[in-house]
Homo-oligomer: A and B are copies of this chain.
């Protein structure tokens, strides 16, 4: 079970209570949290895998991921490539607001619940709530910091280590927003998705997963990741959570904003 403080936050703000939880949320006032919660004018449940935004699209709203998993993807000549993933509480396409035309796709994985914020509403917030506006900026830069970490890991690690890093990052991010559990987490990600995210074939991902299992690091099953040895997982995947801007070297808890 997550901490009582987190349960309380989700109860008070059921649609946006996980936004920046464990990061900069402590810096938002109750009024700001309420403004954000009320900015969502529509909630939708998507059960089938769906591309909710496509490269080149303009959009009139931005999307809060309330529940489920989302992949940010780019299409290659024959294949889709995952460039990042999202967990509940992520404002997945603030980019679309500031860039207008999106450079990538937003694809759901498994069942998700989405909240939509009209851009007319966002524009008002930008004008009337400069502090909240800056927190939005921070949220998009957090994505950029995660992209940079991925770039380095792709340059540095073998497939098995990349997978270890991905599992460690997902688990950490889920726990930041009060999800996952002590042994691991549930996820709709298949080995095919992991292949798209790690730049390997599904076949090789399968072999790498077997190696991870045989080393007693992590056990991957259909719909479920069990972390057998967290310390070894993070060591093997060279994972340090600093770049997520939660606790640690880069933490902002000192109250910068």
Contact = CB atoms under 8 A, between A and B. Distances in A.
Interface string A217-257: 00000000000000000000010001101000111100011
Nearest to A101: B250
Contacts of A138: 98-99
Contact of A154 (B100, B148, B154, B256): B154
A185 interface: no
The 6 closest A-B pairs by CB, nearest first: A155-B199, A147-B147, A144-B144, A154-B154, A101-B250, A83-B151
Interface stretch (A13-21, A70-78, A204-212): A70-78
Contacts of A81: 151-152, 155-156
A103 interface: yes
Interface stretch (A33-41, A109-117, A126-134, A170-178): A126-134
Interface in A146-175: 147-152, 154-156
